[in-house]
Each structure stands twice: as structure tokens, then as C-alpha cells.
């Protein structure tokens, strides 16, 4: 029997946490290992419990979910973050992904959407609630170019190995997953990732996905689960 995936819930509403916990534990694949009501408490529990996934509310009493996502990932980049929020504005969602979250769910969504989001994020995929996904694709592809973005450097400047790894990164794979797939060390995969970002002047996953979509490396419809 495979080990259950561990989940930490960070939300300041006890009734919401209880409802989410019941939904999660209705499936034998997952286990809620902790609950927190503030960002500070959530960060402490993430460090102590090392969950596979943290469900993070966008609006916490002491900080927002974007800040907390950054704080958690500074401690461990292996913890997957699924933002659960009342907000459906595109700017909130884009900022969440830029901070390192790999999923975004609107709180009014049905239970099966929550479980689908958890499934996708824990598999290493990106996930966006269907209520907001199309808006976000338009925003990602249509954002005005910034100094740091892509156009100044050519995809052709990457080595064949870097091009291969960039494709896997754009599909949502972590460096550890890439290392396993390509039979290289995690450190080597991370070095390639750094080289790709440096050569293309890219500073995050959102920019990388935008670039990959613009050159036809990935299909944005497939990127959104």
C-alpha cells in the first residue's frame, strides 16, 4: 500500500478548514497532517511537518498568501503550493504563480474541483480552476514585454540539453523530476535550469511558460489542467 500524501491547510476560518479536511480525507490517498490559521503559524508548521502540499488561503490575518508562498518555498522548494482564494481577478492569480504556487482554486468551487487540483499539483502539474483559466491564458500570452523577458535572447542560444530541460520545466516538472527522467543528478538539473534562465533573461516560471508558448514549445491548453 502506498504512503498517503501529506497536506497542510492554512486558512483563518475554522469552518472552512473543517470542510476542506473532510473532502480531502474522503479519499484514501491523502492525509491532513496539520492546520494553521495565520501565515506565521503556517510557516512554522510547514518547516516542522514538511508536507507534500500546502493549501494556502490568499487572505490571512498577518500576511497574504503570495508572501507566505514565497516564505514556504524559501525553506523548501519541494513543498507544492495550492492557493485557495475568494479572489478570481487575473492579477492575483498571476502573482500567485509568479511567487511559486503551482495551483489556484476559487473557494466557491465544488469538492471534485478541489480534489482534481490536489491530484494535479501533487503529480507535478500546474492547475487552474476552470472558472479563471481562460482569463489567465489571455493575460499570460498578452502581457506587455518587460526588460527581463525573453525577446532579447534567442531560444537557439540554448544547448540541445537545455532546450530539452526547458520543455520539461514549461510542462511543470520540478528539477528533481527532471533529474529522474533524464538520469542526471538534481544538482545538474538545477544548474541547467539556472543557465536557461540566465541565457533567456527569464526570472520565473510564468515568464518561462509565456516564452515557451510564444515559440510553440508548449500548448497552453495542455498546460492548464
CATH number, residue 214: 1.10.10.10
Pair 47, 89 in one domain: yes
Pair 31, 74 in one domain: yes
Pair 13, 47 in one domain: yes
pLDDT tens digits, one per residue of 128-163: 877 666 566 556 555 444 433 334 346 778 898 998
Q: How far apart are CA 108 and CA 85, in angstroms?
A: 9
Pair 21, 103 in one domain: yes
Q: How far apart are CA 93 and CA 101, in angstroms?
A: 9
Pair 58, 150 in one domain: no
- 99: cell is 511567487
Query: Residue 117 sits in which domain range?
Result: 5-138
Pair 105, 151 in one domain: no
> Minimal CA–CA distance to 117: which of 80, 90, 92, 88?
80
Whole-number pLDDT of residue 219? 59
Whole-number pLDDT of residue 216? 67
Pair 116, 206 in one domain: no
Pair 162, 97 in one domain: no
Pair 28, 123 in one domain: yes
pLDDT tens digits in sequence order for the chain, 225 residues long: 568 999 999 999 999 999 999 999 999 999 999 999 999 999 999 999 999 999 999 999 999 999 999 999 988 888 999 999 887 777 788 888 888 898 899 888 888 889 989 998 898 877 887 766 656 655 655 544 443 333 434 677 889 899 899 888 887 777 888 999 999 998 899 899 889 888 888 777 777 777 777 776 765 554 444
Domain containing 92 — which CATH number? Answer: 3.40.50.2300
Picking from 109, 138, 167, the residue at the C-terminal end of a domain is 138
Tally of structural domains, the chain: 2
Q: How far apart are CA 99 and CA 74, in angstroms?
A: 11
**pTM of the predicted protein model:** 0.64
Whole-number pLDDT of residue 82? 96
Pair 103, 148 in one domain: no
- 16: cell is 472552512
Q: Read off φ and ψ for residue 57, nearest 5 degrees.
A: -70, 140
Amino acid at each position: 500500500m502506498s504512503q498517503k500524501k501529506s497536506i497542510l491547510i492554512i486558512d483563518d476560518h475554522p469552518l472552512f478548514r473543517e470542510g476542506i479536511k473532510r473532502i480531502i480525507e474522503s479519499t484514501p490517498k491523502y492525509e491532513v497532517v496539520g492546520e494553521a490559521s495565520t501565515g506565521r503559524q503556517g510557516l512554522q508548521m510547514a518547516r516542522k511537518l514538511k508536507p507534500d502540499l500546502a493549501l494556502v488561503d490568499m487572505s490571512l490575518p498577518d500576511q497574504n498568501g503570495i508572501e507566505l508562498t514565497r516564505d514556504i518555498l524559501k525553506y523548501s522548494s519541494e513543498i507544492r503550493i495550492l492557493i485557495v482564494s475568494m479572489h478570481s481577478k487575473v492579477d492575483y492569480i498571476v502573482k500567485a504563480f509568479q511567487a511559486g504556487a503551482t495551483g489556484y482554486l476559487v473557494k466557491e468551487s465544488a469538492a471534485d474541483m478541489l480534489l482534481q487540483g490536489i491530484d494535479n499539483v501533487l503529480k507535478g502539474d500546474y492547475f487552474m480552476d476552470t472558472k479563471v483559466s481562460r482569463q489567465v491564458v489571455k493575460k499570460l500570452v498578452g502581457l506587455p514585454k518587460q526588460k527581463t523577458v525573453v525577446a532579447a535572447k534567442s531560444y537557439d542560444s540554448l544547448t540541445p540539453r537545455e532546450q530539452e530541460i526547458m520543455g520539461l520545466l514549461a510542462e511543470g516538472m520540478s528539477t528533481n523530476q527532471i533529474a529522474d527522467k533524464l538520469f542526471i543528478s538534481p544538482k545538474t538539473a538545477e544548474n541547467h535550469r539556472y543557465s536557461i534562465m540566465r541565457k533567456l533573461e527569464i526570472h520565473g516560471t510564468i515568464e518561462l511558460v509565456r516564452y515557451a508558448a510564444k515559440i510553440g514549445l508548449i500548448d497552453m491548453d495542455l498546460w492548464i489542467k
